[in-house]
Structure 1
Amino acid sequence: MRSADVRAELGKFVLPTRGGWAKPLVLYQNYWLNPERLEHIIPVKKHFKPRRDDIILATYPKCGTTWLKALSFAITTRSGHAPAAGGHPLLTGRDPQKPKDAFVSWWHFVNNMHKGSSPIKFDDALSMFCEGFSPFGPFWEHCLEYWRQRLARPEQILFLKYEEIVSEPVEAVKMLAGFFAVPFTEEEEMRVVPEEVVRLCSFQMLSGLEHNQTGDVARGDSIVVGKSMFFRKGKVGDWENQMSKEMGKKLDDVIVRQAQGVWSCILIHLFG
């Protein structure tokens, strides 16, 4: 789809626009998006045809995306690239997280990705996030939509929590392998292959690689992301070092309010 066609398509809409973040966002189908991203989303919606064997990793930004990509790649390619072998592709080249940790990670990320923009104050960013006004927001709507689909199609959607992957990484890797229809064999488990996958894809391993510490990734004319920004701390509960208890309660209250009745038990499962 050509750029001119995309702009013509966008011209059919009168989209609400709001400032406050580094760049104004537009509201498209109940989600706040960077206009530059929207120009790519529309062609994908029109022309993307998924295959039955496609694997789609869906995470909110800064919620373990890079880690999940590495784990998935290592699991599905282990027949050709043994995790314990030298020269693994992950070493030579190229889930929902709790709302409070997700917000803190996202705030750090946004303040470093826009060239020439003034930093966004933490309090202002939190207020907008709690309103549901944030890039790709509202955060909770993503989680609830995928949770609904997971209940409807459990064989097609695997719902993972970042905190569970951190606390029990080997079990999470086995769960992923089973979901991808490439479960670990008894022989592989005896050779501790799941543990090797965890070691290969650990935060310390990936963040320490030279090609993940230097260089930039361009995302449009005004967005440049340093590769090191994809790895901050990778810790659960770091929000307590950035956010007061009152701020944390404010965000918790928003999540519970958005759940409304039947969704309360689901949110407790997701975020509790």
Structure 2
Amino acid sequence: MASTDLKHMKEDQSRDGQEKISEENKVIHDYNNLILSLPREDDGSVSQYLYFYHEFWCPSTFIQSTISFQNNFHAKDSDIIAASMPKSGSTWLKGLAYAIVNRQYFTSLENKHPLLLSNPHELVPQFEASLYGGKDPVLTQVDVPNMTEPRLFGTHMPFPSLPKSVKESNCKIIYICRNPFDIFVSYWTFFNKIRLKKSLTELTLEEAFERYCKGICIFGPFWENMLGYFKESIERPYRVLFLKYEDLKEDVNFNIKRIAEFVGIPFTQEEENNGVIENIIKLCSFESMKESNGNNSGTVTVNVDREFFFRKGEIGDWVNYFSPSMIERLSKIMQEKFSGSSLSFKGCP
């Protein structure tokens, strides 16, 4: 190669490198300007602030991953998305969905079943935390891996904030919600465990409740998150299956069959006769998942201990924490926010 050609090649490489750096600097600059423009509140979870982006609250680390998800994800009609507010039963739902969809490959409860070796959040990855998140939230642009169809995903994002490709596709969304009283207690205890591990002071019940009532919680306000999916489930029941944690606990057999039918792979009579549904119930039970090898050590998603995802799994534990004034305040908020909809919860005062 002639020296002149070599010189030109080096100049081109240098120019390309400068252009790449310039593009990255622009991304960082635009991201920083976006953060500065957003409403923010002191955070009671683990980061310093929550920012109000696309009508929901989230830490800054999730903003760029949300943008990347919205811009780059291409939904397939065969996709299945497990959605929820945090601490509403999403771990259980992901486990059930994974077991139902993959039941032809795992017909027994042998120790080799992935749900006994891994956390459901690893098997059903979260868009905003696992797939489009990363150590560098500004520059992360991760392509969705080539997964076996039907692809299973999870999200806590409100329905209006989902990518256009999701809302315009025929993919299936299973949304699980929970009594807001129980959500609050689970949310507060969950993030205090994380805070203690990070040597941060615990957030008092009163501090956390004040934020919660204002809607300031990750992927909240909780009422907006719930109502978005609830309304969509009424308008397009073939697209969104709306489940309640309390109903699932009350009759898990019935609801497992609902999920299977909804995603287009109903149980055959032979499967029912052979106890496949009962096996899935046992495999995905709170006790089974909590005690499994996949959940008693290590971390998952955004560096959270696997064991933190399993506390009690009970209904009505909120009565052990709420004062009469707290009950009155949250009841009024729910009455006001859910007014005009038929959304209600068992066990609420």
**TM-score, normalising length from structure 1?**
0.90
* SS of structure 2 residue aligned to 1:56: strand
* SS of structure 2 residue aligned to 1:267: coil
Report if the CA contact (8 A) 1:74-1:83 is conserved: no
- Find the structure with the greater CA-based Rg: 2
Alignment of 1:215-230 (within 5 A): 215-217=298-300, 219=302, 224-230=303-309
Q: Distance in 2 between matches of 1:256 and 1:83?
A: 45
| C-alpha displacement of 1:209 | 1.1
1:111 alignment partner in structure 2: 192
Structure-2 change in CA distance of 1:259 and 1:93 (3 Å): closer
Q: Which runs of 5 or more structure 2 residues have no equivalent in the other structure?
A: 1-22, 120-175
Q: Distance in 2 between matches of 1:168 and 1:9?
A: 49
Residue 124 (structure 2) pairs with residue 101 (structure 1):
no
Cα offsets for 1:47-89 (capped at 9, x unmatched)? 1111101111101111111111110111011111114445222
Q: Distance in 1 between matches of 2:279 and 2:105?
A: 15
Give the letter aligned to residue 84 of structure 2.
T
Report if the CA contact (8 A) 1:6-1:43 is conserved: no
Q: Taking every aligned residue pair, what percent have the same amino acid on both sides?
A: 33
- For residue 142 of structure 1, the aligned residue among 215, 218, 225 is 225
| C-alpha displacement of 1:5 | 5.8
Give the letter aligned to residue 50 of structure 1.
A
Cα offsets for 1:73-132 (capped at 9, x unmatched)? 110111111144452221133410100000100001111224232211101111110111
1:267 alignment partner in structure 2: 343
2:49 alignment partner in structure 1: 24
Give the letter aligned to residue 107 of structure 1.
W
Q: Distance in 2 between matches of 1:235 and 1:3?
A: 47
Q: Distance in 2 between matches of 1:37 and 1:64?
A: 21
Q: Distance in 2 between matches of 1:271 and 1:122?
A: 21
Residue 83 (structure 2) pairs with residue 36 (structure 1):
no
Q: Distance in 2 between matches of 1:56 and 1:218?
A: 17
1:157 alignment partner in structure 2: 240
Q: Which runs of 5 or more structure 1 residues have no equivalent in the other structure?
A: none
- For residue 266 of structure 2, the aligned residue among 171, 183, 194 is 183
1:209 alignment partner in structure 2: 292
| C-alpha displacement of 1:140 | 0.8
Q: How many equivalent pairs are there?
A: 264
2:78 alignment partner in structure 1: 53
| C-alpha displacement of 1:3 | 6.7
1:10 alignment partner in structure 2: 31
Q: Distance in 2 between matches of 1:201 and 1:218?
A: 19
Residue 269 (structure 2) pairs with residue 248 (structure 1):
no
Q: Distance in 1 between matches of 2:27 and 2:264?
A: 38
* SS of structure 2 residue aligned to 1:268: coil
Is the deviation greater in 136-145 or in 80-89?
80-89
Report if the CA contact (8 A) 1:170-1:194 is conserved: yes
Q: CA RMSD in A?
A: 2.0
Give the letter aligned to residue 93 of structure 2.
L
2:209 alignment partner in structure 1: 126
Report if the CA contact (8 A) 2:51-2:60 is conserved: yes
* SS of structure 1 residue aligned to 2:243: coil
* SS of structure 2 residue aligned to 1:32: strand
Q: Distance in 1 between matches of 2:252 and 2:26?
A: 45
- For residue 115 of structure 2, the aligned residue among 69, 87, 90 is 90
2:257 alignment partner in structure 1: 174
Q: Say which structure is richer in strand.
A: 2
Report if the CA contact (8 A) 1:17-1:26 is conserved: yes
